[in-house]
């Protein structure tokens, strides 16, 4: 069975308690369960991870690139949190590995502070889903499931 890797960046471990008026009451554990259910519906498994550390996320993307090349991974769902707007390292990791990445944001970043309007990841992402809450992860998994197998 193929896998989708779901990566969450800094402060997403605080979902459910961090600014619930903005991010809602859904916890990261809820998001992980939602992703596992969505993946199973496509005959996939979801490997869900979270880190507050940029280098860890880069390492996981490198690992994903190898798994994708081996045909064991459909791609990555990535909510990089604030690293979206600052991390050339994560963008370079995506570009360097060639793994398909769907960038996800729970909120509509374009309706928020100006600094959130720019993403270093969007130019290297296969697609972008913003503002649809946790359901954005479900849509990202469906998008990855629909990609043709790696040739």
* C-alpha to C-alpha distance for 44 and 6, rounded to whole angstroms: 12
What residues are designated binding site? Answer: 79, 85, 92, 106-107, 116
* C-alpha to C-alpha distance for 103 and 123, rounded to whole angstroms: 10
Q: State yes or no: pLDDT of 150 exceeds 90.
A: no
Q: State yes or no: pLDDT of 136 exceeds 90.
A: yes
Superfamily of domain 3-146: Dehydroquinase, class II (3.40.50.9100)
Q: Could you tell me which residues are beta bridge partners of residue 78?
A: 7, 103
pLDDT single digits (tens) 74-86:
999 999 999 999 9
Domain residue ranges of the chain, discontinuous segments joined by +? 3-146
* C-alpha to C-alpha distance for 57 and 93, rounded to whole angstroms: 9
Kindly name the residue from 23, 83, 120, 137 that is annotated as catalytic: 23
Can 23 be counted among the known catalytic residues?
yes
Contact 96, 71 (CB under 8 A): no
Kindly name the residue from 42, 68, 83, 105 that is annotated as catalytic: 105
Q: How big is the chain by its Cα radius of gyration, in Å?
A: 14
What residues are designated binding site for substrate? Answer: 79, 85, 92, 106-107, 116
Q: What percent of the chain clears pLDDT 90, i.e. is strictly above it?
A: 83
* C-alpha to C-alpha distance for 85 and 101, rounded to whole angstroms: 16
pLDDT single digits (tens) 51-74:
999 999 999 999 999 999 999 999
């Amino acid at each position: 069975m193929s896998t989708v890797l779901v990566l969450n960046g800094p402060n997403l471990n605080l979902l459910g308690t961090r600014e619930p008026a903005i991010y809602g009451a859904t916890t990261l554990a809820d998001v992980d369960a939602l992703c596992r259910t969505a993946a199973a519906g496509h005959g996939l498994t979801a490997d869900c991870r979270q880190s507050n550390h940029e280098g860890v996320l880069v390492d996981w993307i490198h690992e994903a690139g190898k798994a994708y090349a081996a045909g064991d991974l459909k791609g990555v769902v990535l909510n990089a949190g604030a690293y979206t707007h600052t991390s050339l390292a994560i963008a370079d990791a995506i570009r360097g590995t060639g793994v398909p990445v769907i960038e996800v944001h729970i909120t509509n970043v374009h309706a928020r502070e100006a600094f959130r309007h720019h993403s270093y990841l969007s130019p290297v992402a296969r697609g972008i889903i913003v503002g649809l809450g946790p359901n954005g992860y479900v849509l990202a998994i469906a998008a990855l499931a629909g990609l043709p197998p790696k040739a």
